[in-house]
Each structure stands twice: as C-alpha cells, then as structure tokens.
Structure 1
Amino acid sequence: MVGDKLVLQAQQWVNSVYGGVAGYTPIPEDGKTGWTTVRALIRALQHELGVAPLSDTFGPATMGTLTTAWPVIDAATTNQNIIKIVQSALYCKGYNGSGMSGTYDSTTSASVTRLRTDMGVEGSFPPGVVPKVFAALLTMDAYVLLSGASPQIRNIQQWLNATYITRRNFRVVPCDGRFSREVQKSLLLAIQFEIGMDDETATGRFGPGTQAGLKDQAVLGPGSLDQAKRFVRLFQAAMRFNGWNVPFDGSYTPAVADAVAEFQAFARLLPANGIAGYQTWASLLVSSGDPTRRGTACDCVTEITPARAFVLKVEGYGTVGRYLTNAPGSSLNKKIQPGELQTITSAGLSAFPIYQTSGHTRDYFSPEQGAQDALAAMEAARDHGFGRGTTIYYAVDFDALDSDVTQRIIPHFRALATRLRHFGGGYPIGVYGPRNVCARLASEGLTVSSFVSDMSTGFSGNLGFPLPADWAFDQISTITVGDGDGAVEIDNDVASGRDPGQSLFAPPAPPSRPLDVGFAMSRRDDLLRDLTGYLDSIGVREMPLIWPNSTEHALDLVLAHDALITGLSRIHRMRKALIQGPIFWEIRKLTPEDALADLAVTAYYGYRTELEAWEALPPDQRLDVPMPTPPFVLKEDASTGLGQIFARTAIAAHNHGIVSGLIDERPLDPDDWHVTQAVWRRLREDPDHNISTVPLVLINGAHESGVGGDPLAYDTTQLGEVLARYNGTGAGAEQYGHELSGVYAVFEKYNASLR
C-alpha cells in the first residue's frame, strides 16, 4: 500500500535524479516518510555540495560546506535541485512543498516560515532556509505537538531553540512536547552556556566543568530570579522534563520550592529542603545523579562473608542484592552461597534477589526464554528460602532501544508473568534495567517494582527519561568498601523504601527424590509404541467413532506442553507422570458426548446472562421484552479442556491450594454462577491454565482421600487412590485409577531414565 502521494513524489524524484550517483542507493517508492527517505535527501544535498564520500549523516563537513555555499536558501537561489530537496523534505515533515517546483515561490516561503515558527526560531535568522534549519529539516524530528505530548514541554523546547540557536554547536531540537535524549543534551548545552563555557568547551556532557559551574553559580532557592543568567528557567525546565509541574517563568517562588522538596523526597535527596543545590541539579540532569552520594542498599557478585557483612553495616548499608543463579557456562560464581543469607541477616542486613543468566543482548529475550526463566527463578528463590511475596528482579542488562522493548522485552516479560501464574504466583516481578525499560514494563502491568541501572548514564533508555515512579533501588556507582578480609566491590544503590528486602529465610527441605526434567523428544516414538501397547492390552484400541482422538494425537498434545508440565511437577514436587497421565488419558478417551456437554454448558450460561439482563430491566420495560427461554438441557457444569476438569472441581482445588500455600490468589465462591462461568470458560479456552489446574486437582484429591505423604514417593496403593480420585468416587473411579496407573507407569519409565 502506497502512503502519502506527495512523499512518494519526493522519493521518485530523488531516485530519478541521483540513482546513478556513486554512493547513492535508490530507496523504496512507497510514500512512507522514514529515515530511509531522509538519508537519501541528505546524500542528494551532499552531492549538490560536492561533499564526498556521501554518507547518511548531516555532519560538520556538510554543515560547513553548506554554510559557505548557501548561507541562506531563498527566492534568490538558482539551484533548482537544492530547492527541490528543501521541498521534498517539507513534504516529509508534513508541510506544503509547492509541488516540488524547484522554485522558491510564495508557497515554499510560507511553509518555511511556518516551520521556523514551529521550531521557535523565526526572528533568529534572516528569512529563508539557513543551514541549521536545513539540518533540522533533514531529520525525523517533529516540530508540532504530538498526540499525548505536553504543550508545556513544547513551549520549553521552542524557548531553548529561540534562546540558544545562534550558538555554534546548538542545533534545533524537536518541538514535539516529548522529553528525549536530544532535548536532554540541549538543556545541558544551555546550562553550559549560562555557566560561561565557550563553543569549544560546551559539549552537552555532564562533566567536571558543568558540575563545578552548577556548584559555584546555580544554587537556587525562594526569591531567585532570572536576570543576567537564566538558571531558574533552566532548572524549571529540568523539573518539567522529569515530570514535576512547576511554572516556566524564571521565578523561584515558594510554590516551586515545595515542588522541589517533593522531588527531593521522591528521589531520596536529603535534606528535602526545596533548595536547588548541586545534588538536585544532578538528579534532574543525569541518570546517576551525584554518583558520590552513598545509598543504603547495594548489590554485588561477591559472596557476603561475615567480615564483609560487618563492613557493609558499618558503611550504612541495610539491604544487599544477590544473584539467585549463575550464568550457564560462566566461570563467575556470583550466586548466593550456602549459609550466606544467614550471614547477611545475622549482621542486621536484609537481602533482595536478582535473576540474571544473560540478558546482555536483545536476542536473549523471547516468550520461550521468559517461560524458562519463570521456573528457574521461582525454584531458585524458593530453594534459597525467599518467601512468597518477595519481588525477584529480572535483569535487562543492555542498552535497549524502544523498539527492543516493544518487540522483545515486553513479550518476554508477558510470558514470564503468565508462566509464574501457572506455577501459583507468589513472587512478584521486578525488573533491573534502564529507565525506559522499567517504565514501559510497569505501564504494561508486568512489573511491580524497578531496580534502575542508572549508573549507565549513556544508555539511550536512561537519557531523556525520568526516574520511574515505582523505583525501589537506584544503582548509581560502583565502589569498594572496607579493606583486608572485609573489602568488597559493590554497586552503590539508593533505596526508596519500596522494597525492604527479606530478613528471615526458611529454605525448604531438599526433595526426597530427584525431580523430573524435560522430555527427550528423540524418544517420542518409543514412548508412543509403549503407550499403544499398553492401551491395546486393556482394550483401548483406536476407535474413531467412539474416541476420535488417536493415541499419537493425545501424546503429541501432552509433549507440546512438556515445558509447562515439567515446571509444574518441579514446583509442586510431584512426579511428572502424575500430571501427564490424566491429561493424556482424558484427551485419548474424549468422546462426542463431551463436546455436546460443552455446548449444553455454553447454552446454559448464555441463558443465565440473558436472564440477568432481562431481570435488570425496569418492570414496565419487561412487558415489551420477552423473557429468555431456557435451553432444553439445563447443564451448569461439565468436564472440559485438555484435563477434562469440572468448574466446581477446579474451584475446590483452587481454594485448597490457597489454604495450603501453593498458590497466591483469592478464594473463589462456587455458589456464584458468574464465578463458575468464568472458571469453566477459562478451563475450556486456555489449555495452559487447564494443565496448571491438574496438579491442584490431584493435590486436593489426595487431601480429600486421606492420602498423605510425599507425592515423589507414593507407593502403588497411594498412586492408584490419587489417580482414581481425579475421576471422582465409586467403582467407576476405582477402575479409572487402575487403568490410569498403567499409563502413569509408561510415562514414569521414560521420565525416570532422564532424571
């Protein structure tokens, strides 16, 4: 589909004129504005200027040559291609390019004037397209307010352009109402100009000169005004960019001081006195803030020994972040060591868990990896003794672009959250990463707390992003504390108090038997042969008219969910075959009557919904609306989904799981038809949820049958009773349990060989 026809015209023109020029690559002619088109126009301009080799960057050579050759492009310009490049770029920006006439006519002039006004620079230059305006035109920056953006921020952006555009190394910044790294750099440049830096030393970096200048010249408080210097406005801009609603008028009023005190309290800048001193400036301008300030939390890859714990306590630290696991294949032993958490708590410290095996590149993040991480992190947290309710911080340890967050990180964390719910929840999800990653995951409802990697000041996800509202730990520097046996290198973290860490640890007893692992798919055919042989031996042969699902189909569905079933067996510490058996059996023995029962239940709840709506009508309106007719068969519940589970059975298992501490959810009311409807629908429509309910049904069945002991060590009698109870009670259930025990034995044969 072709986009904007005027952008298409620009693409066709630049390809036709420059397609044969060395260093120019023809671009798609699709009418879609993007960097591909903009960079093609930059190369076209460079060719007209004689700049070689051609490049995608409007750099110093392009700027210098343009300034010399055409200090202004206007009606006096005779090079039609230069004017057409301007007109093409205007179209890409959404302005009228006058049909790409090649003449700087009144329409082109009006569009340029409008563009310069939107930039805030009209009146700063002679009329026409001056080099800095041309450079800004050949970007993807917007100069109009974007949807959902802030008019106040746009006002500041335009003011920055109007005030500082004549400085040599200050380029036009976007005027779109959004805080970004370009805007952050422009603010730092403006501060450096006010400090008194010349065009050589003003770089837009928060270096020693800038820091010294702020300490010496820019301590602000109530009564401060912009006069010879514009520090108040620049400070107000920094507050605005970080999300704090203050005026932008150059006057530091008591109301501004109150807002500053709120920011200081939020960022844990002490004292929160409303005075704009160096640390407050630093926290607004760079992600690490003042890296020399000491936090009250830390994290490290080194074991905390008694000597190190003593040093940390003396140095004012109260909480220590430690790693749940090591990275596969790494020689670095960074994980929590036996007895270490007791050492930490004995010193009066608390601990919080970090999960990281890699996370250093975008390629690590995927839904599949997220699901794997859920099991590994939950098992490790439990085995170390971290209790339910403890937030685990999953690491995103690289400079993630916004596109990486959308395409890789959010799907990863969504799968992580889903799989943790299947395992019963209980361990809230936190994230370690740059500000943008933390904020976006929180906005998706995927995390509850952020551990911000703010000492990575150059990360694109930190530049131009405020401190996330849900921050718990803010990593600002790496330091070494102590000496001798107590010396330890740590990441120095500011703590918000949102997460106090954990101070009591109760690791569970090790499992009585080795836990199961993933199935070796190379043995699939052998397993199928043995299952077929067993079913044949008990008379359960392939009979499509009675049992439409073949043995092969049933097995493949079970194996398709092997990772989830393996995780459930490990989390609930039961034999994997105990979950595989009922699921396989119910799929294999599914009959057409089961499908009819599902239809009957669906019709019943449809009727109940219509009836409720009818009963909610005012009495006088009911006369005009016929009362819904009940279905011929009133069926409230039926076994459904892969595990063929009744809604009431699932609710009872769910509630028992809560009482037993297996899951972290709210109890369900089986007498509320809205609840049974929602449970039944989810059992039917969500295979993973249905599967995750199977072990809860087995555990509740064991409880109701009086079967105690360790599920990993069930004897034959206990096993038969638990499997029978899955089907109910009575002779039919006993027969069910007897036959299903053979299916269990086949699966167990293969699982045991892999343990």
Structure 2
Amino acid sequence: MADEMVRRAQRFVNDVYSSRTGMTVEEDGRTKWEVMYALTRALQSELGISPVSNSFGPTTLSTLTSRYPKLNFGTMPSADFCRIIQSALYCKGYDGDGINGAYGPRVQAAVTKLKEDMGVETVFPGSDLTPKVFKGLLTMDAYVDVNSGSPTVREIQQWLNGRYIGRRDFFVIPCDGHHSRDVAKSVLFAIQYELGMADGSANGVFGPATQAGLKQHTVSLGNTGIWVWLFSAVLALNKRPVDFTGTFDSSLGSAVREFQSFAKLAVSGNGDFPTWASLLVSYGDQTRNGEACDGVTRITASRAATLKAQGIGYVGRYLTALSSTSLPEKPIQEGELQTIAASGLRCFPIYQTFGRDAASFTYAAGRAAGYAAMNAAQDHGFKNGTRIFFAVDFDALDGEVTSNVLPHFKGIVDSLADAGNPYLVGIYGPRNVCSRVAAAGHSTASFVSDMSSGFSGNLGYPLPEDWAYDQIATRTIGSGDGRIEIDVDIVSGRDSGQGSFDPPRKVVPDTRLAVEVYPALELDVGKYMESIGFPNNGGTRNFAHWKCLQTTVWDHDDVITELSNRYTMRKALIQASAYWEMRHWDAIDDSVDALVEGYHNRPPGVPPPPNVPRDSSTGIAQIFGATAILAWNHCIAKGVATGRIRDTAVDEDIYATWKQLKNDEEYALRTVAMIHIWDADGKPGGQNPPEGETVLRPIALNYTEREIFEVLRRYQGWGPEAEEHAGQRMALYHILEKYNGISRHL
C-alpha cells in the first residue's frame, strides 16, 4: 500500500539530490531498497564522500562517526541533513514530523522508539542518533514484529544488538522475529566475542578457532550464564520449542535430546560440540561419519569394499549425464548397479542436468525433467516406488523459489502423475528450497546440500523436517583400486534407496511404434501440450493435437524408423521437431506462404513487389527452403545422403525445395533428420549466433540431455525464444522417447 509520507520522502530525495547523486527513485509511496540507496547516497553527498554509492560501508560509517558521533538538535548540520533522517524514519514506519528539517520533539521521540525496538536503548540512551543506529535506519530491516514473527526470536535479536553493538564489526540486526542470514552471522560474532576474540579477529565465520573454543564450552543440566544464553538462543533460532534462558533446566535438556535425535547426533541432552555445530552452521561437525555418500565416480567392487569398511550402506548416483566428456563416470555406468547390489549396498538415484540458475527452472522444464528421469530410471533398472532426488544446485533466493522452483517441481509431479506415479519425487537442494517444495506438496523427502553453508537458503534456516540425507563433507577414502572421493551424507532413515534392480534396458536401435502404445502416447502428449497452453482442439492454430500426432508420428512411422536406424538418431528427435512445428502452424504462416507463391509465380520480367519474401518456413515441419538446401548440401557432401546440390541464391532452387517441403510430408521429415545432422556439425554456412555454433559429437543413440537440448534449440535458431521453446520441446521429446523405449523393448 502506498504511503503519502513515503511519497514525500521520495520527492524530497529526487528534488534535492538526484542531480548530485545520479539517482532518481520512483515516487510511488512504497518503501524499497532503491529509496534506502538514494537516502544513503544523499547522506554521503552531505558528508562530502565521492563517489557516492548504494553501500553504507566503512568509509560512510567512519566519516559519519568522526564528524557527527551524536546527531541531535544541537549538532544537526543542516535542514536537508535532518530531512534525510526524517525521510528514512517515515520509510521505516516512524514519525518524521512532516520532513520539516527540524530535529524536534516528534523526531526525537521517533529515534528513541527506534532504538528501543532495536534493543540498543541502554547502550545509546536518549534521543541522539548515533552512527550505527543511522546505518540500521538506512536498511530495509524491520525492528518490529512482521509476518507473525516469533516473540522469542525477536527477544534474542534485541538482546544480541544490546549486548554486542559496541563491538567494532557488529552492526544492528533485524528485530522482526525471523531467523535470517544476518542473524545467524551475528550469533557467530557473539560466540567469538565471548571466546575472547578481539575486534578484527572475530569475523562471524565458523572457523578452526571458533570450533576449538566451542569444544571447551559444553553446557548441561544445571549450568547457568552466558553460554546457556547463547545455546538456548541457537536452539530457538532453529525453531526448537525453547525459552531464551540463561539456566539449563530439564525442559531445555529435553529439547536438546529431541533435536539430537532429529539430527541423528549422539543423544546426550548436553550442549556438546556436535550439537553446537549442527545448530550454528548447516554442515555441522564435519568429522562425523555418515552411513551414506554420493559421488561422481563409478562404484566398482573395490570401491564398494572401501565404502562398506567406512560404515556406508547407501550410495547416491546420477541417472543421466549433462556432458559426454566432463566427469565421464558421473552417470550410472553399465553394470554398476549390479555391482552395488552384489556388494550389499543400496543406491538412491539423483537427477541433475540443467539447474545452476533460476532461469533453468520452469514448469515445462520440470515436466521434461520428470519424463527424462523416469526414462533413465527404467533404463537403469530402478524398480517402481524408488525415490528420485531432483537437484536444485544453486543458491536460490526465496523469491526465485516462488517464481521458478515451485512451478518446476509442480511440472515434475504432474509428469510422474501422468505416468501413474511409478517413482517418488525427492529434492536435492538448500534447506529453504527443500522445505518450501515439501510444504507445497511437491516432494516426499529431502536430500540437503548442507556443504554449501554460505547459500542464502542454508544460512539461517533449520534442517528440513523431511530430510532423508544430509550432505556435510567431501572426503577421499581408501587406497589403490579402492580409492574414491565421496560426499559424506548423514542418514535419517526416511529413504533407503534400492538394493536390487530390474535388468537394465540396453541401448538398442529404435523400432516401429507398437500399436498398443498409441492411445497412451496420444493422451500423454495431449496433457503436456495443454499444460503449456496448447488446447487439444488446436485453438487458434490450424491443426488439432490428434492430427499433428497422426501426421508426424503415426502416418510416417516407417520413414522415421528408417531415418533413426540409418543415422543412429533417436526417433523422438525427428518426431518432437516435426510435431512441435505442426502444432504451431497458423493463419499467419498460410498468408506468408501465399506471398512466397506470388513471388515465384509472377509473370516473366515483372520484378517482385518490395518486401515480398522469396522463402518461408513451410510444411508440416515448418522449414525454410534455404535451410533445407544448406542441410541437404551438407549431408550430401558428407556422404550420408544423396541428391542434387542446390544453390540458396537461385530462386528456382529455393522454390523447388520449398514446394517439396510444403507438399511432400515424407520429404519434410527426411529434411528434419538432415537439419539435425547439420545442426550437430555446427550448421556450417547457416545463420548462427555471433559466437557461432559449436560442433557436437556425431548424433548418437546415447546423446546426453545437453546434446538433445542443443539439437532441438538449433532447429529453431538461437536467442531467448529458441531457448524457451527448446526447453518446452525437451518434455515432448521425453514423452515420445518413453513410448519409443517401450516399443523397442517389447
């Protein structure tokens, strides 16, 4: 909701400072970081700091401290300086006395209340505005309860501010009742200060000195004092039901035992080092041994023996590869699961291909991931009921979880539901991501990437309630043939992987589609296309779903099978490209086709009208004549196809090819295969992005996810739309591949 006084604050900073600071804010009456940045720049301008920046950093703080250690009615340097303070007060929800430029009683009362809310009123009594309080004023941090914050957490936040604000590197933290990254770091500072670390040595990092100190400060029943205060604080911040107290009583001991049992620590009821560590940092005590591991190395008999000797019974392995050259043993290797089973180990599958940024996560990409993971799990022999952990391997901010990750996992869930839920959905990722996906009902257990302790989704968040595996450290164990690098995982017991497997499906050539899969294939493709906005009746497009599937899959199955076998190219690559393009065929395409016909059929000697195209994407696979010529010429020169070399500069060649694409469905489908081969070879002679198209390895039946994506993307071109559509076509590819896979293994 817009606030008129915030709007006046925005107008003030624009009118007075925009030309001096190079920043103008929208005058919408809403408090946001841009407004705080503008006020920070205004303050720096008043202090004579150049250049100005958005950061209230060491230079701003030291300059303010040296010139104005206490700002009040008598020391205020100017009316505009005071208006900066008043504007910030309004943005924070306090009374700024009309932004009148006077540090009067109302402003003094607001500053006093601000310091009370921060918990620093005893350190900085009265109505003076001190530099660290000023720094806190120019943030988006709240100092009152927001969004049903915990009163206990708010009490802890105020206590930390009041006790440690005098230390050099400790700054005011929020007092909103919610744990956060800043609060977690402030607790580490507090522990370091109580361990006797000097300013400059204390850094808020859970390093060796801090760990060594905590090992000397076990707290237990009957203890009192500062270490109990700190220990009860970190328990409360981890959402354990405890009071913030300086006395270790029986109720605190009971809460400790419950936490230790939950986190799979030794249950003693004491605040020992492993418990401190698990409460303070996501990976906890990294000297712990886990019963599980995950890694990117093949499990051989020798390596399995090493794992068992370490007490490991569960192994996480990857279903697919993103690259055919990087980390070649990352995906499950042929015969590996049988070795794992014969060694008495159990395996839990992980699906990870794309996933290093938010843009990789969409609903359509989730559908593709679900289908791909199911296909791969069946190929490897994982039985129905296995839980697959889908990876979110980046520092997803909370807003990105909402906008990208949750829709992605909804897509995964929907794809598995369409297949009858043969597998369970798990998630691998930071704590907040795992918890939010679980709360949305999109996962059944979490594999927590707790080694990434600096991730915003780990720091300040408790261990998810549904955690199955907790990844805490990387180690190299064993020797000789048994040497292996692993990520050590603590086990909760919520997942047990699989200890026996169905026979793996071998990589074999495609065959004709089995008649009995037709109805299910039509249903699954239709459901998916409807989920991304393509109604089965065709909507505004020329053709309904059934017609496109019949034309590009059923009617020409013999041709597509022949092309697949000849070029070791999965049928789904041809089917997906052709079906996708035919589903997009609309009246605009028809009108452009008519213009092309007019261009080539004008009377002899009549020049073409201006801006009339000589070529267009046409036919069931929507291919340009020039594209077809380049692809066929390349394949003919390569010796994988036969035919006449044509010239894209010659109208007769363009028109002859264009007419074949438009009128000959079989020729169009053969051309799809030629284009895919040409695409994989880097599209020589074609229109490419500025950096060019890389050469992929020759198309093969075992193409990786990245290679499949690249071929699908290059079919359309490059840029955001091509990337988006390729992501959507990945799901279509995997649905088609599912039924091709069933057919070739009947």
TM-score of the superposition, structure 1-length normalised? 0.69
Root-mean-square deviation (CA), in Å?
3.4
Q: Is 1:267 matched up with 2:257?
A: no
SS at match of 2:544: helix
Structure 2 residue aligned with 1:529? none
Does residue 72 (structure 1) correspond to residue 70 (structure 2)? The answer is yes
Task: Tell me the equivalent position of 1:446.
Answer: 442
* Aligned match for 1:35, one of 33, 36, 59: 33
Q: Which runs of 4+ in 1 moved over 6 A?
A: 547-551, 560-563, 710-714
Query: What is the DSSP-based 3-state SS (H/G/I as helix, E as strand, rest coil) of the residue aligned with 1:308?
Result: helix
Q: Counterpart in 1 of 2:701?
A: none
Aligned counterparts, 1:114-513, within 5 A = 114-127=113-126, 128-216=128-216, 218-226=217-225, 230-270=226-266, 272-328=267-323, 330-333=325-328, 334-507=330-503
| Partners of 2:97 and 2:106 within 8 A in 1 | yes
CA–CA separation in structure 1 for the residues paired with 2:480 and 2:745: 49
Q: Which amino acid aligns with 1:305?
A: T
2:11 equivalent in structure 1? 12
What is the SS of the residue equivalent to 1:20?
helix
The question of whether the paired residues in 1 share the 8 Å contact of 2:538 and 2:544 is answered with no
Give me the whole-angstrom Cα distance separating, in 2, the residues matched to 1:200 and 1:561.
72
* Residues 678-719 of structure 1: CA deviation (Å, up to 9, x unaligned): xxxxxxxxxxxxx9xx99xx9xxxxxxxxxxx96699xxxxx
Tell me the alpha carbon deviations over residues 65-93 of structure 1, each in whole angstroms, 9 at most, x when there is no partner. Answer: 10111111111124212211111001111
Q: Read off the aligned partner of 1:93 and give its amino acid letter.
A: K
Provide the C-alpha distance between the structure 1 equivalents of 2:45 and 2:538, rounded to a whole number of angstroms. Answer: 70
Contact 2:381 2:505 in 1 (8 A): no
Amino acid at match of 1:166: G
- Using the TM superposition, give the Cα deviation of residue 551 of structure 1 relative to its aligned residue in structure 2, in angstroms: 11
- Tell me the residue number matched to 1:110: 109
Distance 1:554 1:325, change over 3 A: same
Q: Which amino acid aligns with 1:233?
A: W
Residue 361 of structure 1 aligns to which amino acid in structure 2? D
Q: Secondary structure at the match of 1:353?
A: strand
The one of 44, 50, 53 aligned to 2:51: 53
Does the C-alpha gap of structure 1 residues 314 and 389 become closer, same or farther in structure 2, counting only changes over 3 Å?
Answer: same
Question: What CA distance in whole angstroms lies between the structure 2 residues aligned with 1:482 and 1:264?
Answer: 30
The 8 Å contact of residues 397 and 432 in structure 1, kept in 2 or not, is answered as: yes
Q: Is the 8 A contact 1:382 1:507 kept in 2?
A: no
| CA apart distance, 1:358 | 2.4
Contact 1:325 1:335 in 2 (8 A): yes
Alignment of 1:659-678 (within 5 A): none
The 2-side partners of 1:421 and 1:259 are apart by 39
Q: How far is the alpha carbon of 1:557 from its aligned partner?
A: 7.3
- Number of residue pairs the alignment of both structures matches: 552
2:374 touches 2:423 (CA, 8 Å); kept in 1?
yes
SS in structure 1 of the partner of residue 55 of structure 2 = coil
Where relative contact order (Cα < 8 A, 6+ residues apart) is larger, the structure is 2
In the superposition, relative to structure 1, how do residues 126 and 712 fare at CA in structure 2: closer, same or farther (>3 Å)? closer
1:326 match: secondary structure? coil
Distance 1:183 1:449, change over 3 A: same
The separation in 2 between residues aligned to 1:257 and 1:209, in whole angstroms, is 27
Structure 2 equivalent of residue 63 of structure 1: 61
Q: Is residue 73–residue 104 contact of structure 2 (8 Å, CA) maintained in 1?
A: yes
Q: 1:371 to 1:79 in 2, by over 3 A?
A: same
User: Structure 1 residues 355 and 9, CA, compared in 2 at 3 Å: closer, same or farther?
Assistant: same
Could you tell me how far 1:247 is from its partner in structure 2?
Answer: 1.8
2:469/2:491 contact within 8 Å kept: yes
Q: For residue 459 of structure 1, report the CA deviation from its aligned partner.
A: 0.9
1:4–1:32 Cα contact (<8 Å) kept? yes
Deviations 1:547-585 (A, max 9, x none): 99999432587569999xxxxxxxxx99x99xx99xx9x
Letter in 1 for 2:135: A
Q: How far apart are residue 24 of structure 1 and its match?
A: 2.5
- 2: CA distance, partners of 1:159 / 1:398: 33
Which string of whole-angstrom CA distances, capped at 9 and with x for unpartnered residues, describes residues 643-666 of structure 1?
xxxxxxxxxxxxxxxxxxxxxxxx
The DSSP-based 3-state class of the residue aligned with 1:19 is: helix
Shift of 1:313: 0.3
State whether residues 152 and 243 of structure 2, in contact with CA within 8 Å, keep that contact through their aligned partners in structure 1. no
Structure 1 residues 3, 516: closer, same or farther in 2, change over 3 A? farther
Q: Secondary structure at the match of 2:543?
A: helix
1-side partners of 2:362 and 2:261: how far apart? 37
Give the share of equivalent positions with the same residue, in percent: 49
Deviation at 1:220, TM superposition (A): 0.6
Secondary structure of 1:429 counterpart = strand
CA contact (8 A) 2:256 2:269 kept: yes
Structure 1 residue 126, shift from structure 2 partner? 3.8
2:78 and 2:122 mapped to 1: Cα distance? Answer: 25
Measured against aligned partners, the alpha-carbon deviations of 1:225-280 in whole angstroms (never above 9, x if no partner) come to 00xxx11011000000111111212001122111101111111112x011111111
Q: What runs of 5+ residues in structure 2 fail to find an aligned partner?
A: 514-536, 554-570, 583-731
Report the secondary structure of 1:553's partner residue.
coil
Cα distance in 2 between the residues matched to 1:406 and 1:293? 34
In 1, distance between residues paired with 2:475 and 2:550? Answer: 48
Distance 1:557 1:450 in 2: 42
Change (3 A) 1:66 1:502: same
Question: Are the equivalent residues in 1 in contact too, given 2:381–2:502 (CA < 8 A)?
Answer: yes
**For 1:328-359, what per-residue CA distance to the aligned partner results, in whole angstroms no more than 9, with x for missing partners?**
45532211111111111111110000001121
Distance 1:143 1:485 in 2: 58
The residue identity in structure 2 corresponding to 1:60 is P
* Partner residue, 1:81: 80
Residues in 2 aligned to 1:414 and 1:87: alpha-carbon distance in whole angstroms: 46
Instruction: Give the distance between the partners of 1:347 and 1:548, measured in 2 at CA.
Output: 54
Which amino acid in the other structure matches residue 94 of structure 1? G
Counterpart CA distance in 2 for 1:430 and 1:548 is: 35
